[in-house]
Amino acid sequence: MGVGPGDEKYLTPMAIEIIERSDVVIASKRAKDSLPKISGKLLELNASNLDRMVECALDLISEGKNVSFASTGDPCFSGLLKTLSRRGVDKSLMSIIPGISSFQLMAARLKINWDEIKAIVNFHDGVEESKKHLLVKTLYQGGDVVVLPNPISFLPQEIAKFLLANAIPSRTIAYVCERLGYREEKLVEGTLEELSKISFHPLSLLFIPSVRSASQPDIVRREVSDRLIERAEGIPFTKREIRAIATSKLELSPGDLAVDVGCGTGVVSLEMAMRVYPNGMVFAIDKEPLAVELTKRNKEKFNLSNLIRCINSDALEALDHLPEVDAIFVGGGGGKLEKIIEKARLKLRSGGRIVVNTILLESAASAIKKLSSPEFTDLDVTEICVAKGRKLEQGTMMLTQNPVTIVSARKC
């Protein structure tokens, strides 16, 4: 039975009736504080005696006794139902009395519709990398997220620091709801930067609205025509035929997070953004300020501003501050290709794709060497030679452009 978030006034009449009919009530110290006076036997539950209490309950049931487990909040929301099921308790032996959860109280206090929340990320059971990735990706995809912090090792302040370290903007507003349902209840609103400097109570929930404040563009899928791209002398530009093959090897899907290292004019970033539309994100990195400026102009021209984030920085430094991503395109290494590939490996999720474009044989050899390591699989090396027609008086002459080698692989 759910006994609510902590104050007896949130205990339902049905739960009170069950308590009165129970021969034995098993409750944690926190749950006991929510209970009215009990006529039957009360046993205290804690982390060290959980298995013993389950065995005791099953023995009592076999003797015909009514046994109740008091679950703080609601048993079906990060509550005792999961705990007992994992220990093999037959659900046919159970009757479940729902209670008011801290999640419901949070929605009521913040006046939000919790059926519209994109994701609930629960760190109660452990701080796993897959959950961290889900948190960051959901925020970048434009969804509101509720986070159940780990009360020992991943409290709201640590979560805020983690998000800042993974390129979620520091100005992002979030809400921490402390000790919901208690007299000491407190709601704290602040930016991630501000929340990262505050110590919060272990009984907290974190609500983070979407970091994508503007509505997504209504994109008509189209090819990125070379003639529409703003260019500048000395800034790399990947031609249409090459980028069509290179971006196809990234195997991007809607909602993916991707990186374009050495974005140049941003033309590959545009192609990638169209593939991750409507709720993905492309991080376009270049150390040249003019390249970043061109990328900004071109993304605005194609109505892709919300899907491309430009970063004027050295690639190795920029990658350090990005979240885990689904795909990485490397169009320029600046003499640091092997280091960039190694850094990219750390940022790629398992199964993520990396594609390296190169015109130098030495760079191709470096890429092949790095991507042949045990950390990668599905190595593919493709050389592309494109010839374009040129009209002469006598007819059409084909002029061959410089060959490009594309090296791609998947992270194990």
Q: Are 364 and 358 spatial neighbours (Cβ–Cβ below 8 Å)?
A: yes
pLDDT of residue 216: 55
Does residue 209 have a pLDDT over 80?
Answer: yes
Contact 299, 207 (CB under 8 A): no
Looking at residue 19, its pLDDT comes to 87
The fold of the 8-100 domain, in CATH, is Cobalt-precorrin-4 Transmethylase; domain 1 (3.40.1010)
Q: What percent of the chain has pLDDT over 90?
A: 59
pLDDT recorded at residue 212: 59
Q: Do 103-208 and 226-411 come out as alike in CATH topology? A: no
Domain ranges of the chain: 8-100, 103-208, 226-411
Q: How far apart are CA 118 and CA 115, in angstroms?
A: 8
Check if the beta carbon of residue 114 is closer than 8 Å to that of residue 15.
Answer: no
pLDDT value for 31: 86
pLDDT in the model for residue 189: 95
Q: What does CATH list as the number for 103-208?
A: 3.30.950.10
Distance CA 367, CA 359 (A): 12
Please report the pLDDT score of residue 308 as a whole number. 92
Q: Is the pLDDT assigned to residue 174 strictly greater than 50?
A: yes
Q: Does the structure show a pLDDT above 60 at 213?
A: no
Rounded to an integer, the average pLDDT of 206-235 is 75
CA–CA–CA angle 331, 244, 323 (5° rounding): 50
182 secondary structure, DSSP code: S
Work out the pLDDT band at 88, boundaries 50, 70, 90: confident
Query: Does residue 305 carry a pLDDT above 80?
Result: yes
**pLDDT, mean of residues 347-374:** 94
Q: Is the omega angle on the peptide bond into residue 236 within 30 degrees of 0, that is, cis?
A: no
Would you state the pLDDT for residue 199? 95
Find out whether 44 and 27 touch, Cβ atoms under 8 Å: yes
Start-to-end CA span in the chain (Å)? 44
Whole-number Å distance between alpha carbons of 350 and 370 = 17
Q: How many CB atoms lie within 10 A of CB 108?
A: 12
The answer to whether 330 and 262 have CB atoms below 8 angstroms apart is yes
Banded pLDDT at 137 (limits 50, 70, 90): confident
pLDDT of 139 > 50? The answer is yes
pLDDT at site 255: 87
Higher pLDDT, 115 or 148: 148
For 25, phi and psi rounded to 5 degrees? -120, 125
Q: Is the pLDDT of residue 218 over 60?
A: no
- The first and second tokens of residue 238, run together, are 């990947």
Per-residue pLDDT for 231 more than 70? yes
Which pLDDT score, from 0 to 100, does residue 40 have?
67
Write down the pTM of the prediction: 0.71
Average pLDDT, the chain: 90
Cβ-based neighbours of 165, under 8 Å, separated by 6 or more = 321
* CATH T-level assignment (fold) for domain 226-411: Rossmann fold (3.40.50)
What is the pLDDT, as a whole number, of residue 214? 47
The residue type at 300? E
Q: Which of 181-190, 233-242, 326-335 has the lowest average pLDDT?
A: 326-335
Q: Tell me if 23 sits within 8 A of 40, measured CB to CB.
A: yes
CA dihedral 90, 96, 98, 99 (to 10 degrees): -80
